Structure 1
Amino acid sequence: MSQAILPGPSAGLRIGLFGGSFNPAHSGHFHVASTAMKRLQLDWVWWIVARGNPLKTGHGDFSGRFRSAEAVADHPRMRVTDIEARLGLTYSYRTLSTLTAAAPAAKFVWLMGADNMVNFHLWGAWQGIAQMMPIAIVARPGIGPGARNSPFARRFASSRIPAAAAASLPDCDPPAWVYLPAPLDPISSTAIRQKKAGQ
């Protein structure tokens, strides 16, 4: 496995790690990333385009997904990285372990939309991810009750901090997480693919 080449400076910085298939990336993804950046007072958000998703079939062309993420992550403090593909990794736990080893002085936070929180317990080593770095969950349309009652939310209920204290999350020792209510963007990758298929 090649050495991790980081997408930007990291030492002492508050960095959100935002992984996804991004098939394709859309305004809902930007909404999650920008909401987290503002509420957590992050210095950077690194978009990690997944090499593949073990829970999905038909990931789509990697280069197309990467380009769509670059087009959507239009912010001076957001970077899109193919680090997972370059390292030949598939599972988020391995990717995040590699990043924390390569940037031990960074204050990483794992970012996800509430739609991913519902199925987070199906991810490989999901509890290990929660023990590795703080997690911020941003509300997504129609997901609220399912996310707040998910196995993750129940397992780590005592580690949740109030949304009003979200800016403190990057400084928290894991496990620690926050659920961020936010104005909702209804767009989804699935809807975009279905629309294209119907054209």
Structure 2
Amino acid sequence: MTATEELCKCPRLPAARHATNAANAVSVGLAQMYCNRINYDLEYQHAAVAIRCFVVVGILGGSFDPPHEGHLHVASKLMKLLRLDAVWWIVAINPQKLAGTYSLKERMSMVKSVIARCRGMRVMCADSQYSYKMVRNLQARYPQTRFVWIAGSDTLSTMHKWYRWKQFCESLPIVLLERRGYVYNVLRMPFAVYMENERVSDLKFLLKRRRGWSIVRGKICAASSTQIRNAMPV
């Protein structure tokens, strides 16, 4: 399935957002089209450009080798808290890990199974092995969509090793959900040091910014792909 097809399957936008943006439409016909359009298809996208509305999509990127309840916990918790219109699980083409247990096809299939009953969640294959390039490609393809990177706080332990990680941090808002063992070490990570002045506590305000980051506290899920792989029989 193409990225466009995935985009067309995004869920309905909140009614309040429809009403507010429709009121600002330049014509009655355009406003009516906006209010009646439920899915984010090409016609809806053209209307969105004209009336300056935005869809907010969370990006949950990773190797998902394998996907587990911790990933779903992050996606579900932050989707609800941030009031995201959708969450895209983007599976890495070439994960920067040791020999993986599962192929790309298998990981895509497993993610689909994990999110099968989750409204608004979709799985996509990354079009680049680098998160920075992948995000830039999505932003160029969907200019009327606001993207936010969502992840567990353990991500910060390796983010400074990513390709052009500083540019990545400046390319979109980042919201992290705390994970066991990483809560109190986060502020010492290279990411936190570099983005020290970009930390925002108001999540609603953060989503309106071009960059920034925040940590969300809540129920901690200790599931780990590494632990799952290590527990598998050889």
What is the TM-score of this pair, normalised by structure 1? 0.88
Q: CA RMSD in A?
A: 1.7
| 1:133-172 matched pairs, under 5 angstroms | 133-162=172-201, 165-172=202-209
Gaps of 5+ in 2: 8-39, 49-53
For residues 65 and 133 of structure 1, what CA distance do their matches in structure 2 show? 26
For residues 124 and 48 of structure 1, what CA distance do their matches in structure 2 show? 17
Higher Cα Rg, which structure: 2
DSSP-derived class of the 1:142 partner: coil
Gaps of 5+ in 1: none
2:122 equivalent to 1:79: yes
Judge conservation of contact 2:149–2:172 (CA < 8 Å) in 1.
Answer: yes
DSSP-derived class of the 1:7 partner: helix
TM-aligned CA deviation for residue 189 of structure 1: 0.7
For residues 13 and 99 of structure 1, what CA distance do their matches in structure 2 show? 13
- Paired residue type of 2:227: A
Over residues 154-199 of structure 1, what are the superposed CA-to-partner deviations in whole Å (9 max), with x where a residue is unaligned? Answer: 111111011xx2233221221x11111110111111111112226x
- Paired residue type of 2:222: P
| 1:93-132 matched pairs, under 5 angstroms | 93-132=132-171
DSSP-derived class of the 2:233 partner: helix
Could you say which structure has the greater relative contact order, defined with CA pairs below 8 angstroms and 6 or more residues apart?
1
In the other structure, the counterpart of 1:187 is 223
Identity among equivalent positions (%) equals: 32
Judge conservation of contact 1:115–1:140 (CA < 8 Å) in 2.
Answer: yes
Judge conservation of contact 1:51–1:62 (CA < 8 Å) in 2.
Answer: yes
- Paired residue type of 1:37: M
For residues 125 and 72 of structure 1, what CA distance do their matches in structure 2 show? 31
For residues 90 and 4 of structure 2, what CA distance do their matches in structure 1 show? 13
2:73 equivalent to 1:37: no
Judge conservation of contact 2:56–2:147 (CA < 8 Å) in 1.
Answer: yes
TM-aligned CA deviation for residue 7 of structure 1: 1.9
In the other structure, the counterpart of 2:35 is none
TM-aligned CA deviation for residue 4 of structure 1: 5.6
- Paired residue type of 1:153: A
TM-aligned CA deviation for residue 146 of structure 1: 2.1
Aligned length: 188
For residues 92 and 123 of structure 1, what CA distance do their matches in structure 2 show? 8
2:59 pairs with 17, 27, 33, which one?
17
What is the TM-score of this pair, normalised by structure 2? 0.76
Judge conservation of contact 2:3–2:124 (CA < 8 Å) in 1.
Answer: no
For residues 113 and 193 of structure 2, what CA distance do their matches in structure 1 show? 36
